Amino acid sequence: MMSKTVYFDNNATTRVAPEVREAMLPFFGELYGNPSSMHAFGGQVAAHITKAREQVAAFLNCEPDEVLFTSCATESDNTALRGAAEWFGREAKIVTTAVEHPAVLQPARRLKAQGHEVVELPVDGVGQIDLGRLRSELEGSRNAIVSVMWANNETGTVFPVRQVAEIAKEFGATVHTDAVQAAGKAPLDMRQVPVDMLSISGHKFHAPKGIGILYVRRGTKFKPFMLGGHQEGGRRAGTENVPYIVGLAKACELASANMEAEAEQLTAMRDKLQAGILATCPNVRVNGDQSHRLPNTLNVSFEYIEGEAIAYHLSDEGICISTGSACASGSLDPSHVIRAMGVPFTAVHGSIRFSLSRYNTMDEVDYVLEKLPPIIRNLRDMSPFGPDKAPTTF
């Protein structure tokens, strides 16, 4: 067993909060009734779902009947895109971005194969989209479907979702946002941001894996993806995952209660980490929009070396980080997000992501700042590439 674990991979998944675990336990024990049953034993469980839905609605500042519980954000994203596309038919153009999570990009590409016009908006060097380009893509469209993420999972870049939604609404589009990485780190206020649908995943903010939310504004048109039961008002069939629903609601409550203080704590740790890396490691670039960024995320490219090698050596020191999104790791292809931002060839393979949570400490930041620079120096010494190495031709 590794003696020390420093977990800086919270955009991949998070530790379940003890309060969340505690709230879930009765539903693995005595409260096992089916919430759809006629009897009072099931009915008391249904009451806990009602309460959980109200807690989530408070978190999103929306109505409880606008909250659907799903199995994960991948399901939420698929339901939003494919459900709206099925409602509107092939004439619906889909406008999304080149840096979405595969849970959005792949359904969008499937819809393209099925005859929809699909546009993946490019991003600039810091990973932002051009709102003028969004507008021009929507001009003349009917019943378009716009999906722009709230914040990017790899770089932490936060998108102007409110403006995106306002523009999309001028053209009568249906607007979806994947808010998986923003949940718990930034306020999600459905009365302020006119999106129609929004996806969240429990395991990214201290609830367990395997529970998600799809927010659906009243009146939004989509065809349900999961059929076979009356649950969730007929919009998502399947017996409810009661313990996880209760856990997710608890995670929402904890996040709302501490969001500002946590954001401050996360920013302080992240900024110290960033400053320390820039001060000790030459030929490093920070990826993402530093003026619109999640407080917990730092994505850096170390030129001339491989992110996988850095991750491997950090892992030997008990430090957990990621190279690109967890779904993409295991493949040596550079991340589609980093490539879309036009990061130079010398840096594109050397990108790693640190992502922090409320359970991290400044001591852990110091530990990483002690272990990382010698790893970078050693890898650079071994690399055939570098500013002071003999030129290489390909």
List residues with catalytic annotation. 327
Nearest to 239 by CA among 45, 57, 16: 45
Lay out the site mask for ligand PLP across 309-348 (x = CB under 6 A, - = otherwise): ----------------xx----------------------
When binding is defined by CB under 6 A, the residue of 53, 82, 101, 236 that contacts ligand PLP is: 101
Q: Which helix (H) or strand (E) holds 297?
A: strand 297-302
User: What 8-state DSSP symbol labels residue 391?
Assistant: P
Which residues, in sequence order, are bridge partners of residue 147?
Answer: 176
Lay out the site mask for ligand PLP across 137-156 (x = CB under 6 A, - = otherwise): ------------x---x---
Q: Does 212 bind ligand PLP (CB under 6 A)?
A: yes
When binding is defined by CB under 6 A, the residue of 16, 68, 72, 183 that contacts ligand PLP is: 72
For the bound state, the minimum distance from the C-beta of residue 205 to ligand PLP, rounded and expressed in Å, comes to 11
For the bound state, the minimum distance from the C-beta of residue 182 to ligand PLP, rounded and expressed in Å, comes to 9
**Cβ distance to ligand PLP smaller for residue 71 or 143:** 71
Cβ neighbors of 159 (< 8 A, separation 6 or more) are 97, 128, 129, 148, 149, 150, 151, 152, 292
End-to-end CA distance of the chain: 43
How many Cβ atoms from other residues are within 10 Å of residue 351's Cβ?
27
For the bound state, the minimum distance from the C-beta of residue 324 to ligand PLP, rounded and expressed in Å, comes to 11
Angle between helix 131-138 and helix 161-170 axes, rounded to 10 deg = 20
Lay out the site mask for ligand PLP across 38-67 (x = CB under 6 A, - = otherwise): ------------------------------
Lay out the site mask for ligand PLP across 244-263 (x = CB under 6 A, - = otherwise): --------------------
For the bound state, the minimum distance from the C-beta of residue 302 to ligand PLP, rounded and expressed in Å, comes to 23
For the bound state, the minimum distance from the C-beta of residue 261 to ligand PLP, rounded and expressed in Å, comes to 24
Q: Which residues of 111-124 are buried (b: 16+ CB within 10 A; e: fewer)?
A: beeeebebbbbebe
Q: Does 183 bind ligand PLP (CB under 6 A)?
A: no
Which residues, in sequence order, are bridge partners of residue 284?
Answer: 302
